[in-house]
Structure 1
């Protein structure tokens, strides 16, 4: 169960590299280049009843590599003449040069959604092969993979934001978590808890610049916005971001925010000590009670995020990945069949998210982006013992249905954490107001990232 922490550490460590990568690729040619209108770049599925060949698939080492590797045998029952050369690769280090040189290009690659736009000129537009499925894929995932009308990634996971809460500690303080429907309700509950436990800081506020911005973008997604629009133009200066930043600033000023690094030592100490009892985060926080908060800790539960306004959306996207097919791959059409099996064949997606040798109870740190696979009434993974036997599948899939539509993630997103992410931390320090965060980050991102494209 190491995927969430390994992946986030890798993302944070790679953020500077990714910024350089994105700018370098942009210098080689426009990363958002109207590929959707170029029919020659559109992948077509293989013809014939007996496709043959070898495909090279790149995944990162770790648990997901093992999960995907375990599905190959089932894939070969359907396609016996397609050999899968499955490689564990440092994608951040190798993919850029491989695509630019066109040498030994893989047929399929597991890629963070944040990089799809940056690499799109090297990738197949998948609009035609995805056409039978696109209406049944979470709209937010289609949107983040869409560049100028072309769809450049096969959506993999959906990472709905949830509110994790310490049910035992709240109950002891006389708080009914079931009554939390809005952020006003959450703040009222946090104040009540702080009265009962004076040394507590009930709500998690992320201390790291990278993950702090990712958490901010989860709230923005919930309000149907993001740092940039579909053309990559900044839109931080908006009522939505002012609302979110004002809320976060108030949480910190009122002593309700536990500023700590995601699952770092101080974070875990406050979580296990009952000082931090609300964790607004993506589904993959479920890793913490399962592995880090004590073998007998079954205090935590999950619910949808509170709404900003009563009746509003109760989830937002926080992170995500997809599969891309490079145009220089020799057998990208056959690789499409592999991803089609993984994502859109019941045997495939059941093997990915269902019980396996890697995850005996199923992969419960994300849900499928394909909505028929994410049926709340048909769980692919089991109830989570560390959440008191809660049916996390039902909670997460229903929350996933409420995520508003999105936009492509700009290729400079990781680099923007140097500005917006750091300014957010300065706001928590009391050095900047919400309006100053917006003003400063907008100016710096525009000058140092957007204009450099």
Structure 2
């Protein structure tokens, strides 16, 4: 668990860098060859026909906690497929993958990628539609959407990262506020006003100060409303009533002094969480790292609940980040890599090894949930209740929230580059320099002219 913060925090930062890389990649894909693992005249991949295939594969993962989890799961894979040798390498994927794909030299058979990278790298990846066909009806639709490009599916979905509302139950209860009654963002504002009245120094709601992460959180809010920065065809749709509603809410939080502006889990952020000034944190499931490892004074005081809805009856969660497994076209044993990933994600022995108790996570991997619905069974938890959340059954909360994430679309390759405009303008709004309408118009014009029109 101690390595999860770098993975989660740098995951968000890396998304921006990766999308910038992807912007260049989309214009210079190599010629598509007919590898032995694909159908003739196609880059569609299929699983091996043999029941007990043999061979060797090279798999790239980032170093850190998930590398350890996947590495440990290889033994479970080899119980079922003893003749497949897995060479598991910890790699700086952001630094190494681009040149590897371009040159076609020492290309891995499989690689762990943030969902936001899939669209930009798709020219270099195999279409996994056939591989996923037996499972696709039981995969969270949002995860298939973000991995789809031009009718193909280019990632084996790993995790769902549902947005949740983390709250300091002890501090709120002391102020006479029952957070569990909050069902809409208007009610969250009312609860925050009441808390600030009881605790004058408080700025109860987290407002992200980093440009990239604030844009990622903005997309979580937009996901709840069934929209995103671009549509299925990559056309910009930022200037919309949905985004205006979100920005108006954030502007209200700032203007009324209801928000703590800080970068995610920075020293300032942690201090305001510990002293009871910041008691509401709308974020992806992986915020639970904080009460488990960083919040020594308030550990055990925090709980998680579904996000508020934007309107009565609306979705109570949205997607914030996520990762998948991709298979490069130029790998030597692509079929076996697909078999490995299919085992990890869709075989009960595999996903139990990933999310269940391990040497890395003795009580289970509780910073994400599976995107494969049979694995995300609310009645069959793969990780245990979280002591730092007062022994709350986070599995039940998160799996239910994941079912409320609306359908999505592929992330455009220019998404990371948009941070220079949308992420920056959002921060300027919180500084009081721009209105929500000005953010929407200015960011739309800049993204269209500087990113989309130049592709």
- Aligned match of 2:161: 159
What TM-score comes out, normalization by structure 2 length?
Answer: 0.96
Query: Which segments of 5 or more consecutive residues in structure 2 lack a partner in the other structure?
Result: 32-38
Shift of 1:2: 3.6
CA RMSD of aligned residues (A): 1.6
Alignment match of 1:172 (pick from 171, 174, 191): 174
1:406-445 mapped onto 2 (5 Å cutoff): 406-445=408-447
CA contact (8 A) 1:15 1:415 kept: no
- Aligned match of 2:294: 292
Shift of 1:218: 0.4
Q: Whole-Å Cα distance in 1 between the matches of residues 242 and 297 of structure 2? A: 40
Shift of 1:20: 4.0
- Aligned match of 2:407: 405
CA contact (8 A) 2:160 2:319 kept: yes
Shift of 1:296: 6.5
Stretch deviating more after TM superposition (319-328 or 287-296): 287-296
Shift of 1:295: 6.5
Alignment match of 1:61 (pick from 54, 59, 63): 63
Q: Whole-Å Cα distance in 1 between the matches of residues 409 and 452 of structure 2? A: 16
- Answering whether residue 25 of structure 2 is matched by residue 22 of structure 1, we say no
Q: Whole-Å Cα distance in 1 between the matches of residues 40 and 118 of structure 2? A: 17
- Aligned match of 2:207: 205
**Distance 1:187-1:393 versus aligned 2 partners, 3 A rule:** same
- Aligned match of 1:384: 386
Shift of 1:3: 4.6
Q: Whole-Å Cα distance in 1 between the matches of residues 50 and 291 of structure 2? A: 49
- Aligned match of 1:319: 321
What TM-score comes out, normalization by structure 1 length?
Answer: 0.96
CA contact (8 A) 1:289 1:298 kept: yes
**Distance 1:101-1:30 versus aligned 2 partners, 3 A rule:** closer
Query: Which segments of 5 or more consecutive residues in structure 1 lack a partner in the other structure?
Result: 32-36
Shift of 1:30: 10
CA contact (8 A) 1:18 1:415 kept: no
- Answering whether residue 281 of structure 2 is matched by residue 275 of structure 1, we say no
Q: Whole-Å Cα distance in 1 between the matches of residues 341 and 425 of structure 2? A: 39
The alignment partner of 1:41 has SS state of coil
**Distance 1:139-1:30 versus aligned 2 partners, 3 A rule:** farther
The alignment partner of 2:26 has SS state of helix
Shift of 1:47: 1.2
The alignment partner of 1:327 has SS state of coil
Shift of 1:148: 1.1
**Distance 1:230-1:342 versus aligned 2 partners, 3 A rule:** same
CA contact (8 A) 2:11 2:114 kept: no
- Aligned match of 1:34: none
Q: Whole-Å Cα distance in 2 between the matches of residues 17 and 307 of structure 1? A: 31
The alignment partner of 2:57 has SS state of strand
